[in-house]
Amino acid sequence: MRKKRIGGLPVMKRGGGSRAIGNISLQDVQFLLTAPEIYHDYRSITAKDFLTAVRSYIEKHEGTFPMSDELITCNTDCTIKELIQLLDHEKIHRVYVADNDGNLKGLITLRDIISRLVHEPRGYFGDFFDGVLPMPPNSRV
């Protein structure tokens, strides 16, 4: 995530295909570093082991962990209105887009939506968001 300057990644099912089984965000990693009871050897933990440890922790400490144990998705035919309502209802800022078979097709973030609705002059936020997402060629920024 640091190398690509992104805030989260889907965890994909091993063995081909494009099915996501979970999500790991920077916030989740930060929580992991401050909660050693979840996983002691965080430098060598695999994504699968991380998700398993988190799900176990959530079961034991219901409501005390900031990460959801679910991957939040919408269908490819979801409208922007429905997507905004989903983001609001789930109190998240990232939704993965999947087809009818559950195969991952993409990702839409709250910032993606806002940047299409509100002009954000280059450098408005300093260099904080530079390189986070490649801007489309027809972008107004």
Contact 22, 10 (CB under 8 A): yes
- So what's the pLDDT on residue 36? 65
Q: What is the pTM of this model?
A: 0.66
Per-10-residue mean pLDDT of the chain, 141 residues long, equals 82 78 78 66 75 74 59 90 92 89 89 80 61 52 42
Domains of the chain with bracketed CATH: 1-69 (no CATH), 72-132 (3.10.580.10)
Cβ 51 vs Cβ 24: under 8 Å = yes
pLDDT at 138: 56
Q: Exposure pattern of 82-107 as b/e (b: 16+ CB <10 Å)?
A: ebeebbeeeebbbbbbbeeeeebeeb
pLDDT score for 42: 63
pLDDT at 141: 42
